Chains A and B, each alone.
Chain A
Amino acid sequence: MSDLGGYRAVIPEDAEQSELILRINHEDPDLLMPPSDSGKRLTDQEKKILANWIEQGAKWPEFWAYLAPKKQPEIIPGDRDWGNGWIDSMVLRTLNSRQLTPSPRADNVTTIRRLHFDLTGLPPTIEQIQRFLQDDSSSAYEQIVDELLASPHFGERMAMYWLDLVRYADTVGYHGDQDHNISPYRSWVIDAFNDNKPFDQFTREQLAGDLLPAPTPDQRIATGYNRLLQTTHEGGLQPNEYRAIYAADRVRNISAVWMGATLGCAQCHDHKYDPYTAKDFYAMAAFFADIDDEQHFKVGTNSLPTRRPPELLVISEEHRQHLNALDRKIKLAEKESRSLEEKNKKLDGEALAQGKKERDRLKSVIASLKGERKKIESLGDWTMITQALPEPRVVRVLPRGNWLDESGQIVEPAVPEFMNPIKTEGRATRMDLAIWLTDPSRTSGQLTARVMANRIWFLFMGSGVSPSLDDFGGQGEPPANPELLDSLAWDFIDSGWNVKQLIKEIVTSETYRQSSVETPHLRDTDPYNQLFGRQSRYRLPAEVLRDNALAISGLLNLDEVGGRSVKPFQPAGYYQHLNFPPRTYKQNEDQRQWRRGIYIHWQRQFLHPTLKSLDAPSREECTPKRARSNTPLAALALLNDPSFIASAKIFAEQIQRQSKGDPKTGLDFAFETATSRKPDDAEKKILLDLYQTCLSEYQNDPIAARKLTTRSLLDGEPVDADQASLAAWISVARALLNLDETITRN
């Protein structure tokens, strides 16, 4: 609306004189907007809307996502209202305003399945379902919610999502894609969710745990967050270039994860849609200029793992003491050895021979002490941590993002200029940034609450209140129910950033408990389920899908929580394109291969093919919302991946045992184990036909039966001698593990 040199784009209440209106109607194609060669055109209807808007005063409210969430007046539910709390009241009000009503509750089996998948990423057992179905008490549901929130698998489920956001991976990402040491960070994230660490503290420890007074080992492990970016270990790298690449990587991630902002767009120029400037981008990068992350330019090798100091050895207290003792001994022995050397110089003859002998003895002592030290070290895990440099790197604005151009102004750490500033004396630190991001009393913290509350809602409803989980900017979509989103944000803040409490509020609402069956009317009026008049249904995420198959068969190994990455079966040669060094995948052949998907070795350049076909991201960038594709490659993985075949085999052995000679009994058991419900007559018939046909075929072809029942990947021999029957059950098990219903959360 400002003067642009004799004219203004918009003159309120005067459409005719507004340049905007002139230009969208211009006859000269060179002056017409949008440009005639852009392939975009405004309709007459759209032009009229713009003109009307100007005539009505061209009101331009501040952008919703940069305004602090509003506290909503408490809703007092009416008598005939639906639901049991403020979430339901808000959802209902919006639905009613569009002449819609909520969907009925899902049936109990669907509900309990949904709850288990959502809170732990695991299916319920038949016993867990029975218990719920038989408990008529009004508190039965809430009791299960509490139990699941207290389960150690809750942390694993939440960490799966967090690791997508912060782009956790086991390899460096660029060029040789070597392994790096970081799995203790994953364990820390799991523990943090299990311990219900408040989100503000969770934030501070990751961004700046090293800057806390006397940080604990755990707090230092948390700072692994700052080291999760992709690095290169390619010979011939130009340090300045990668300095710029690393800085940009960090800015993209921090702004995406905590601010829902696409600050990365301001690397080369001011943001095209949002008020972020290029200077904001580099000022944000400056917060991280003190991170010691360049040692690998010199020492990063092609070894596995590569070297990316600084690292911390994560080890038990007992082992740590042992190490300290060894270090003292080694130091002593080395000192003695040195003085012996000096002494020997002055000797000759027999005395020298004696001295040399003594020196050799000492040397072997040192070697054996060092060997012992190594052995103990190997019991622990190294993990990358953040260590501040004494002098932060100088950060300049890079004109057009060009790292060769050093003419740009030097910037100090600062938050985007249009937002509330950090109040601090001297140079602002990562800790200041962490506090600013989660300060409940200031807009900046309240915006973070809204970004995160939206994502937590997404995890339990299948879509965000604002569908743009990754972009709360001008190009994102505003929430269809802003009051609901703001209230979720405030609830999160007021609870003291209590993640479990927010989740409990959501999953105990009637909104959550609705059926996911779409009526044609709902599908027409609200195709994207932005008003939440139903639950969502979608294919399980990659890791959960695998966990589910392993859990159904009983193969899933839930012995520990956290720990090192594991390597389940993967086709030979899948890493053939990796080099520096060439890679051979060494599969874990013990129980480790049956651990949960969250622990699978995450090779950025060649993610496990089954996970990849099911839309698990490479973790090069922040991924708040995975795609949910449905492709032939995914079908092939579920049908033929040997891990799934192994699941089918173990499942089949169980079915065979349960059937006790009566295939119908076996079928009932199998179907219920896979889908949590009993099959209807049509389903029974289809599966029984499959079983009978396969049975007679395998009876006629014992060689095929033997091949199919061979326990590859598994220990021991098949339990039953009736291979034809077992092979037929394997076919049934494969069908069940591939059923739409088995692999869908609804």
Chain B
Amino acid sequence: MPQPIHTEPSNAIQRRTFLNRAGVGLGAAAISSLLAADESRTPADSVNHRRLPHFPSRIKRVIFLCMAGGPSHLETFDFKPELIRLHGQEMPESFTEGQPIAQLQGQALKIQQPLCTFSRHGQSGIEFSDFLPWQSKLADDICVVKSMVTEQINHDPAHTFMNTGTAISGRPSMGSWITYGLGSETQDLPGFVVMTSVGGRNPQPIASRQWSSGFLPSRFQGVEFNASGDPVQFVKNPAGVSRLAQRRLIDSINQLNRHRNQLNQNPETDTRIAAYEMAFRMQTAVPDLMDVNNEPQHILDMYGAKPGDGSYASNCLLARRLAERGVRFIQLYHRGWDHHGDLKKYMGICCGHTDKPTWALVEDLKQRDMLKDTLVIWGGEFGRTPMFQGKGGVGRDHHIKGFSMWMAGGGVRGGSTYGATDDLGYHAVDEIVNVRDLHATMLHMLGIQHDRFTVPFQGLDMKLTGVEHARVVKEILK
């Protein structure tokens, strides 16, 4: 365990706990200088994140649009004419031999042609499928990486891998790493927020470990915001308790705690007083954030958002509002992309839910001049096989050896593509980007050198990018 987190009864640590929470508005640099004064009080503390960022950052925040279930690269960004020519034929064994296979284990492997057409867009001429009429308008803003690979072929471990860089449980997710490293720029909201929506084929489950802080302090875990019920668990006062009454209650609690602490001089009590203060601020800030009634109609229309409907569209709008308020890492899940069967129908549904709002989010950030310091990432935990699967109509199985994601904003070379899969869209063959490289690149844009951003745990200097080689994909950056 990182020492400073678990050895509680220290003045130094508690001051830091307090500062990180109470003083988040100070900015990471200010905090790190305050913390430096405490250094002598933290034995065995080799956490080097105090020197963050390592170099000037290009972006302030990340919005990760996770298309959970694994959207087909072959029906979005990766057009393979060869699949049309060879449609219905057996998949050459040279491609599949010795490769992990999910639900198609033991079945005949037949080539499946794309279930859509493709066309080129923008000045860049990037290819988009006709499932994506809105995202295709972003042709000159995004960089499509066509050579993604991952290591996990089932949903749960593949998400864990995408979020934490490993399939081993108990490790922090990228949002936790980043808020741990850089702090937050909001005093009233968590630094790492997660929202989800459904629509499409039977939604894949998503475990809260996907936004867990792992061995990092729990205050860095992602906080889930819900569209229905309380937006954050227990953020609403009990019935019959007004805001004023809650304020008075918290004041009384803090007064009593302060009084008693004159005797004990316990820094942890000071932290508790600050935590209750922030809890109260969140009780205002969260409903204020969620209330989109003050958004002009044309913005609501742009996203296609209906206030309070819990749709991906509403979540995209909320993502922008979170970004405006200084939240560091915003992750949206849309659960419905697991198209083992009836892919055409379900792609239609998923894209119907997500295509326009995704465009709107990028466009809206752009018109507010926020895209320059925001990184937007779109993609699933893996792609889908070039081979046919027929679980209720034509579909495709999980595929990890080559798939597509895109990035936009803050220093990303818009209007470009990077890497390629082979003629059948099976293996990434050119300029391969694995999940570690994606993490390294994202950290780089935040001003963090991935291999120096470590926390000691179980005897190792743990990194988001793990022990194997990871590289910053500089080619996709301006």
Contacts and interface: CB of A to CB of B under 8 A. Distances in A.
Interface of A: 37-40, 173-177, 230, 232, 234-238, 241, 262, 264-265, 271-274, 404, 462-463, 467-468, 470-471, 473-477, 517-518, 520, 523, 527-529, 536-539, 571-574, 576-580, 604-607, 609-610, 612-613, 615, 618, 620-621, 625, 627-637, 639-642, 645, 682-683, 686-687, 689-690, 693-694, 697, 703-710, 712, 727, 731, 734-735, 738-741, 746
Given A238-B105, A518-B266, A629-B219, 18 more contacts: A175-B205, A236-B153, A238-B102, A463-B7, A468-B1, A523-B10, A577-B196, A577-B205, A618-B208, A620-B169, A629-B217, A629-B218, A632-B276, A633-B190, A636-B282, A687-B256, A689-B252, A740-B261
Residue among B12, B204, B252, B276 with max Cβ neighbours from chain A (10 Å): B252
10 interchain residue pairs of minimum CB distance? A708-B240, A475-B459, A707-B240, A236-B102, A605-B207, A635-B279, A236-B103, A632-B279, A640-B234, A707-B239
B98 to A, nearest CB: 7
A234 B105 CA distance: 14
A693 B239 CA distance: 18
Residue among B102, B154, B190 with max Cβ neighbours from chain A (10 Å): B154
B253 A735 contact: yes
B388 to A, nearest CB: 15
B237 A262 contact: no
A536 B9 contact: yes
Interface size class of B (residues with CB under 8 A): 35 or more
B436 interface: no
B474 interface: no
Residue among B245, B449, B452 with max Cβ neighbours from chain A (10 Å): B245
B384 to A, nearest CB: 13
Contacts of A632: 21, 275-276, 278-279, 282
Contact of B6 (A474, A606, A627, A693): A627
Given A528-B9, A629-B217, A637-B234, A517 B263 contact: yes
B328 interface: no
Interface string B9-44: 111100001000100000000000000000001011
A529 B7 CA distance: 9
B169 A537 contact: no
A57 B179 CA distance: 46
B256 A177 contact: no
Contact of A571 (B230, B245, B269, B271): B230
B240 A237 contact: no
Contacts of B256: 683, 686-687, 735, 739-740
A704 B458 CA distance: 53
Contacts of A738: 253, 276
Describe A's contact surface by its main secondary structure: loop
Contact of B459 (A474, A529, A536): A474
Contacts of B238: 640, 642, 645, 708
Contacts of A537: 9, 264, 266, 268
Contacts of A234: 154-156
Residue among B17, B202, B206, B228 with max Cβ neighbours from chain A (10 Å): B206
A641 B279 CA distance: 13
A252 to B, nearest CB: 9
B223 interface: yes
Contacts of A613: 233
Nearest to B226: A573
Contact of B260 (A38, A518, A740): A740
B347 to A, nearest CB: 20
B218 A615 contact: yes
Nearest to B5: A627
B228 A573 contact: yes
B252 A628 contact: no
A641 B234 contact: yes
Contacts of B207: 177, 577, 604-606
Contacts of A463: 7, 9
B366 interface: no
Contact of A734 (B6, B249, B266): B249
A571 B229 contact: yes
Contact of B48 (A39, A470, A633, A746): A39
A333 B442 CA distance: 70
A693 B270 CA distance: 26
A537 to B, nearest CB: 6
B229 A235 contact: no
Contacts of B169: 173, 230, 620-621
Contacts of A727: 240
Interface in B98-113: 98, 100-103, 105
A600 to B, nearest CB: 15
Contacts of B6: 467, 625, 627
Contact of B249 (A273, A577, A709, A735): A735
Contact of B460 (A265, A536, A641): A265
Given A238-B100, A690-B252, A705-B240, A609 B275 contact: no
6 contacts: A175-B156, A404-B100, A620-B209, A690-B248, A705-B240, A740-B272
Contact of B205 (A37, A580, A635, A641): A580
B86 interface: no
Nearest to B250: A639
Contact of B234 (A236, A241, A629, A639): A639
Nearest to A704: B240
B212 A637 contact: no
B242 interface: yes
A710 B275 CA distance: 29
Contacts of A470: 1, 458
B117 interface: no
Contacts of A523: 10-11
B335 interface: yes
Contacts of B249: 639, 690, 731, 734-735
A404 B266 CA distance: 54
B398 interface: yes
A738 B204 CA distance: 38
A627 B217 contact: yes
A706 B239 CA distance: 9
Residue among A538, A574, A694, A735 with max Cβ neighbours from chain B (10 Å): A735
B119 interface: no
A238 B218 contact: no
Contacts of A471: 458-459
Contact of A573 (B44, B229, B237): B229
B460 A272 contact: yes
Contacts of A518: 9, 265-266
A527 B240 contact: no
Contacts of A232: 154, 156
B170 interface: yes
B269 A740 contact: yes
Contact of A630 (B11, B17, B242): B17
A637 B249 CA distance: 15
Nearest to A577: B206
Nearest to A271: B459
Given A463-B7, A527-B10, A571-B233, A174 B260 contact: no
Contact of A708 (B9, B241, B250, B278): B241
Contact of A262 (B246, B260, B283, B459): B459
B257 interface: yes
Interface in B189-210: 190, 196, 202-209
B235 interface: yes
Residue among A639, A645, A683 with max Cβ neighbours from chain B (10 Å): A639
B259 interface: yes
Nearest to B48: A39
B255 interface: yes
Interface string B317-342: 00000000000000000010000000
A277 B452 CA distance: 27
A577 B196 CA distance: 8
B27 to A, nearest CB: 20
B411 interface: no
B236 interface: yes
